[in-house]
Amino acid sequence: MINLAHDLGFRMALWQAPYLAGNKESSDETKALLAHAKEQGFFPDPVGVPLNGWGDIIDFTNPEAFAWWKSLIERYTNMGIEGFKLDYAEDVVLGLFSGRTPWGFWDGSNERTMHSRMKLLYHRVYAETLPEDGGFLLCRSGTYGDQVNVSVIWPGDLDARMWDHREVVETKKGTIMAVGGLGPSIIYGLSLGPSGFPFYGADTGGYRHSPPDKETFMRWFQQTALSTVMQVGTSSNNVPWEFDPDNGDFDQQVLDTYREYASLHMRLFPYEWTYAQNLAVDGRAIQRPIGLAYPDLGVHPSDAYMFGDHLYVAPVVTKGAVEKQAYLPPGQWQNWWDGTVIEGAQSHVLPAPLDRLPLYLAQGGIVPMLRPTVVTTAPVLDPETIDSYATDPGILWVRVFPAQASTFTLYDQTAITQEADGNHINLSIGQGEEFKDGAVFLIFGLEQEPASVACNDVDAAKVADLDDLSGQDAAWFWSSDNGGVLYVRLKQGTAVVTKADMAD
């Protein structure tokens, strides 16, 4: 099964918790491991109050216990497991009900010093087993210094609803106070990024009270597509391609829209990974609160954010809403889907039909993407059937909103520029270490076919079909869809677009 998953371009991960259960459902092997751990003194002494349903936590301050648990985990990584979703390990608290809960650890630590450090050690033992290429940890919590171990933080079990935190709601089981759903999840991510954990991924669709209804799931996956991590994991194990009564009210629209947004998330890899690599230089979060990105505005929404420098994301978090009230930063902003342009520095009511996330590209923005056919970044067995970035980075597809000159330098040092200069749009791309085949530039909002497109001072050929572009070194295609979209194929160098209504 693991090999098949790898062949298809998947990375394989397992859910884990740092306990050995000794109940009647436990296997004989697990019971034998538990007996060995007790005999060797691999548990804290004393143990406070275990806050889980399985047993005592392993004492990872004990080097022998650490090495033993690591050897058990290596059974999985030796099979080809590349990651783990690490849950729990939050038992060590300072006290409960106004009383102390004493813990004692091998190295002399107690609950006062191990409350946060336990997570660090728990994550470290797993991190040390991961492969150098493609290994990852998805963790429920973290602490200072844990960034070297933790790849992604997820917030635990959120409600599979569009509820606010501590909202009082009625359920089939009575009145409850909600943990929170989509809206609070966005807040989690916006808080974690500037706090030093840039990769955040809630269970898309929520977990508690699953399955989510169609609207909740669609609004949620639209948001996670424009975030650092898009992962689905509800308590009902529902997926968008299964339509049955136990799976909520999912239908073909859910699947078609999910496929579109999952593809967009995958294609945004060059854009997102560039910001990820820059974290070591500037420390700027990838998902940025508006107040952090534009501090002079004095505007601090909890349900809108910048994804990198150029994308403004305003997820719908209200049940039944098909519009979104949002304040956009200064400058012009182009609707990602249809190319319409609005002025910033003011509040707008943005269109938000069920299948559309309010998403806007900043004036002068450059967004490099993978080609439309890519479905994975992991290696695959049959590249003729499954298109992977790992097989060939290929041609970039670059969405631009022409304005004052700007440059986007990718993680591999590919430099892309754009500039709107009177009746011309100037574009350029150089070769990087990975992306050596140039780009297809996408420019929305050109209502008329351009008068000409020149690549490296030579008139480029107009092709009759968009599919013909990739096979050219210099060519262009114009479509009247979405208010007019121009596609310019440029393998290397410069391109100059002359607008039809301003041609000399």
The answer on pLDDT for 177 being more than 50 is yes
Q: Using a CB cutoff of 8 Å and minimum separation of 24, what contacts does 380-385 make?
A: 380/7, 380/8, 380/9, 381/6, 381/7, 381/8, 382/7
Query: What pLDDT sits at residue 503?
Result: 45
**Token pair of 218 as six digits:** 């669609």
| Residues 198-215, mean pLDDT to the nearest whole number | 95
- Among residues 438, 439, 437, 449, the alpha carbon closest in space to that of 486 is found at 449
- DSSP per residue over 329-368, as a string? PSSEEEETTT--EEE-SEEEEEE--TT---EEEETT-EEE
Q: Does 481 fall in a domain?
A: yes
- Looking at the domain assignment, is residue 414 inside a domain? yes
Q: Give the per-residue SS3 of 392-439.
A: CCCCEEEEECCCCCEEEECCCCCEEEEEEECCEEEEEECCCCCCCCCE
**What span, in angstroms and rounded, lies between the C-alpha atoms of 183 and 16?**
27
Q: Are 303 and 402 spatial neighbours (Cβ–Cβ below 8 Å)?
A: no
Which pLDDT band, with edges at 50, 70 and 90, does 470 fall under? confident
Return the SS3 of 141: coil
Is the predicted pLDDT of residue 6 greater than 90, yes or no? yes
Q: Tell whether 495 is covered by a domain.
A: yes
CATH for 401: 2.60.40.1180
Closest to 199 (Cα-Cα) out of 285, 292, 301, 311: 285
At 80-99, the pLDDT tens digits run 999 999 999 999 999 898 88
Is position 264 within any domain?
no
Which range marks the domain in which residue 48 is found? 1-153
Q: Among candidates 324, 331, 264, which has minimal Cα distance to 293?
A: 331
Average confidence (pLDDT) over 177-195 = 97
The total of structural domains in the chain comes to: 2
CA distance 209 to 189: 22
From 123, 153, 183, give the residue that closes a domain: 153
Q: What is the pLDDT of residues 389-399, one digit of tens each?
A: 999 999 999 99
Select from 115, 133, 153 the last residue of a domain. 153
Q: 194: part of which helix (H) or strand (E)?
A: none
Question: Would you say residue 370 lies in a domain?
Answer: yes
At 504 the pLDDT is 45
Report pLDDT for 235. 86
For 8-22, how does the pLDDT look when each residue is reduced to its tens digit (9 = 90+)? 999 999 999 999 998
Looking at residue 122, which CATH number applies to its domain?
A: 3.20.20.80
Are 487 and 481 in contact, with CB atoms under 8 Å apart? no
> Is 256 among the domain residues?
no
Flag whether 195 is in a domain: no
User: What is the pTM assigned to this prediction?
Assistant: 0.96
Residue 318: inside a domain: no
Predicted confidence band at 50 (pLDDT cuts at 50, 70, 90)? confident
Q: Which of 134, 153, 172 is the last residue of a domain?
A: 153
